[in-house]
């Protein structure tokens, strides 16, 4: 069995890991996009419950089967515990393991001629992981009509979001916080030439997806109240699935009042803002809110990036 390659080897070995339930449109894009960086044999898909359609979309990838026998209130905690464990196991074979939700894609925006893998080969390895600069794609009127277009061609506008500056590029053992937004008893640096794009609001079945999440949260609470599970709800952070419309309304309100920021000359300014927002809450290292002068920041992607995602 070959050990983990040493930094500085001719090639950097990278694996991509996600966990999915249904979300077929998103999984298709996750597989297709990440297969531009590495072979499908280096993509790992945790399938939550039996689903032949996921098997079809992820054919050629490594599919890991996780049971789905009812959803508990602490689902997200369990899910990211599983992802942490698998990522740590894969660290024995890869230089980096990229752990994202299925609605998150990476985009390399630096001058490095080797693209994402070339950047990772020489990237700083402070702490256990690197966090890209997180942006939430925000559609405006008419953006979502032609679903055959590349995502950034359809929806080139985005909102800077510290919550999605997630330490997802791991190069050492990690213990992810709920949602993968931070590291418990760990630290990380900023991947200043990499963006994380959150596709939550560009899916073609957004209303259906929000409704299904809301129903799952309601079902989990009902099971807990009936005594089928016994979880302290005051310690559960998985509340956002129960109120997706409220979160959506706030996000679009933030986008409407956000300050326009020119990125035609690059994203260095954002990398410094992310570094300045690094914080520790208790045992968890994470990126906090980023709103200079009290206003969120929004961008429009230059033409050169619009066919890359």
> What distance in Å separates the CA atoms of residue 56 and residue 286, rounded to the nearest whole number?
36
Q: Do the domain assignments include residue 58?
A: yes
Q: Do the domain assignments include residue 3?
A: no
pLDDT at 208: 79
Q: Do the domain assignments include residue 6?
A: no
Q: Total domain count for the chain?
A: 1
Q: Do the domain assignments include residue 228?
A: no
User: What is the band of 59 on the pLDDT scale with cuts at 50, 70, 90?
Assistant: very high
**Structural domain harbouring 276:** 14-204+245-305
Question: What is the average pLDDT across 169-196?
Answer: 95
> What distance in Å separates the CA atoms of residue 301 and residue 297, rounded to the nearest whole number?
13
Q: Do the domain assignments include residue 113?
A: yes
Helix 206-225 and helix 244-257, axial crossing angle in degrees, nearest 10: 140
pLDDT at 235: 55
The token pair that represents 279 in the structure block? 């914080």
Q: Do the domain assignments include residue 152?
A: yes
Least confident of 16-25, 73-82, 123-132, 296-305: 73-82
| Contact assessment for residue 76 and residue 237, using Cβ atoms and an 8 Å cutoff | yes
Q: Do the domain assignments include residue 288?
A: yes
> What distance in Å separates the CA atoms of residue 55 and residue 92, rounded to the nearest whole number?
26
Backbone φ and ψ of 280, nearest 5°: -125, 125
3-class SS at 82? helix
> What distance in Å separates the CA atoms of residue 201 and residue 268, rounded to the nearest whole number?
26
Mean of the per-residue pLDDT values of the chain = 88
Q: Which residue has the tokens 């993968």?
A: 180
Query: Closest Cα partner for 271 from 152, 169, 170, 131?
Result: 131
DSSP 8-state secondary structure symbol assigned to residue 109: -
pLDDT at 236: 62
The token pair that represents 204 in the structure block? 């073609």
**b/e string for 72-95 if b means 16 or more Cβ within 10 A?**
bbbbbbebbebbbebbbebbeebb
Consecutive H or E run containing 284: strand 284-287
């Amino acid at each position: 069995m070959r050990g983990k390659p040493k930094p500085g080897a001719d090639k950097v070995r990278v694996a991509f890991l996600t966990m999915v339930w249904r979300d077929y449109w998103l999984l298709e894009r996750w597989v297709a996009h990440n297969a531009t960086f590495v072979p499908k044999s280096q993509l790992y898909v945790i399938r939550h419950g039996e689903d032949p359609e996921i098997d079809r979309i992820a054919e050629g990838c490594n599919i890991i089967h996780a049971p789905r026998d009812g959803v508990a209130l602490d689902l997200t905690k369990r899910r990211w515990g599983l992802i942490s464990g698998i990522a740590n196991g894969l660290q024995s074979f890869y230089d980096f393991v990229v752990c994202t939700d299925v609605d998150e894609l990476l985009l390399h925006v630096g001058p490095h001629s080797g693209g994402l893998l070339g950047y990772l080969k020489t990237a700083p390895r402070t702490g256990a992981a690197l966090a890209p600069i997180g942006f939430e794609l925000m559609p405006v009127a008419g953006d979502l009509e032609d679903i055959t277009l590349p995502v950034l061609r359809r929806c080139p506008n985005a909102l800077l979001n510290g919550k999605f500056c997630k330490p997802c590029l791991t190069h050492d053992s990690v213990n992810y916080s709920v949602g993968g937004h931070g590291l418990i008893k760990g630290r990380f640096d900023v991947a200043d030439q990499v963006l994380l794009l959150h596709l939550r609001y560009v899916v073609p079945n957004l209303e259906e997806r929000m409704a299904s999440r809301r129903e799952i949260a309601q079902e989990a609470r009902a099971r807990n109240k009936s005594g089928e599970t016994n979880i302290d709800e005051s310690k559960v952070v998985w509340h956002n699935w129960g109120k997706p419309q409220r979160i959506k309304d706030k996000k679009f309100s933030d986008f409407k009042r956000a300050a326009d920021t020119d990125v035609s000359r690059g994203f260095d300014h954002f990398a410094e803002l992310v570094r300045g927002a690094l914080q520790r809450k208790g045992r968890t290292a994470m990126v906090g809110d980023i709103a200079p002068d009290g206003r969120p920041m929004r961008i429009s992607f230059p033409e050169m990036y619009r066919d890359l995602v």
